[in-house]
Structure 1
């Protein structure tokens, strides 16, 4: 009988789970749910498929665990910034900076939440929806603050601007995924230039 905290080859279970999730997140985020097999993850981790099933139950369970870890990292970082002193556009830029920094060593995490091959029902879909709602709420709070600073508290304007902001963030992240040579700092400088060109002012 395997002890709950036992690992393999002398590796503690928590460390082994972390290793599996690191590898699985990169595989799922890079190749997609449908194209990633448990066998590939096991091979890259140097372990057996049964061990992954023992830890996570199924391929779906493994993907959900990757989502939960990645979603928590992203949402926690955005919430940390929201608790700070930055307001308006400064809060938006701080949020982008935090996300770029967090994702620089693991950009594939972003694509876990936008994988068209992932199950559209069940626990995985519920997890994606839950984190989307959590992050969307933070976006709405930030945009509401920005709009009110501009003297606009129209609910529909705020809703529309929140959709625009989320679309901008997603577009920037996807562009970054296609240009992996760009560092987090370079992405922030690019965002500054884009906003300056767009609004004709100083984005800082």
Structure 2
């Protein structure tokens, strides 16, 4: 009778645990160096296994990248959709979305750089999949910012387009800052953003922008 395959990895490490270690190491490597510069030997060294074993578990470099990308991107998309809900025009929606982003990334903050990796080779499955997630998140941002502007009385499509870009860059900047401050919890970051938004609101008087 054939012996069933073992569920353990090398040196007695259960296979699922070893795979999780590989994904964590790969996420750190892709985030730190970008897809183009990351290497399977470096990822294997982070785990303490051979490149051959890493390949047996995870397949090609692109397969490994996708295995890191998809779970975090799905988690982010779901969190943003839930935070926006049916009332995207609410003035509290931006803070809810930011809190959702921070919460979805907590414990794996560097995964943001895996999703928004500009070194992905064009035309490949990695770039195609990441691009689909970028566009899905952009559509949510475009819809949410347009609704906020309509609620504020602006129907200019160029206002909506400009605000979408501002929002996208703002979120990316805040996440990058947060990654450099690991002591900041998602709740603390959301409170900080609320203070920053309140301070920014004082720059423009309630009567509208003043000409110099």
Settle same-fold status: TM greater than 0.5.
Answer: yes
Indicate how the Cα distance of structure 1 residues 182 and 112 shifts in structure 2: closer, same or farther if over 3 A, else same: same
Counterpart of 1:180 in structure 2 is 182
The partner residue of 1:83 within 79, 82, 85 is: 85
2: CA distance between counterparts of 1:151 and 1:38?
A: 53
The CA distance in 2 between the partners of 1:43 and 1:194, in whole Å, is: 41
Q: 1:97 aligns with which of 96, 99, 110?
A: 99
Q: 2:154 aligns with which of 152, 155, 162?
A: 152
The CA distance in 2 between the partners of 1:74 and 1:157, in whole Å, is: 26
C-alpha distance in structure 1 between counterparts of 2:157 and 2:185, whole Å = 36
Aligned residues: 201
Match of 2:198 in 1: 196
TM-superposed deviation, 1:93: 0.7
Q: Distance in 2 between matches of 1:47 and 1:101?
A: 31
Q: Distance in 2 between the 1:27 and 1:89 partners? A: 38
8 Å CA contact retained: 2:102, 2:186: yes
Tell me, in whole angstroms, the C-alpha distance in 1 between the residues paired with 2:183 and 2:3.
44
Provide Cα deviations, 1:41-87, integer angstroms capped at 9, x if missing partner: 22333433223222332112211221112211111111222236564
Aligned to 1:45: 47
Question: Tell me, which stretches of 5 or more residues in structure 1 are unaligned?
Answer: none
Counterpart Cα distance in 2 of 1:73 and 1:47: 29
Structure 1 residue 2, shift from structure 2 partner = 11
RMSD value over aligned CA atoms? 2.7
Quote how far apart the aligned CAs of 1:155 are. Answer: 2.2
Partner of 1:8: 9
Note the residue ranges of structure 2 that are not aligned, 5 or more in a row: 204-212
Does the Cα contact within 8 Å between 1:74 and 1:99 map onto a contact in 2?
A: yes
Q: Distance in 2 between matches of 1:162 and 1:91?
A: 14
Mean CA deviation greater in 44-53 or 1-10: 1-10
Q: Pick the structure with greater CA Rg.
A: 2
Q: 1:120 to 1:175 in 2, by over 3 A?
A: farther
Taking structure 1 as the reference length, the TM-score comes to 0.84
Question: For 1:103 and 1:2, how far apart are their aligned partners in 2?
Answer: 41
Task: Tell me, yes or no, if the aligned pair for 2:88 and 2:147 is still in contact at 8 Å.
Answer: no
How far 1:22 sits from its partner (Å)? 2.0
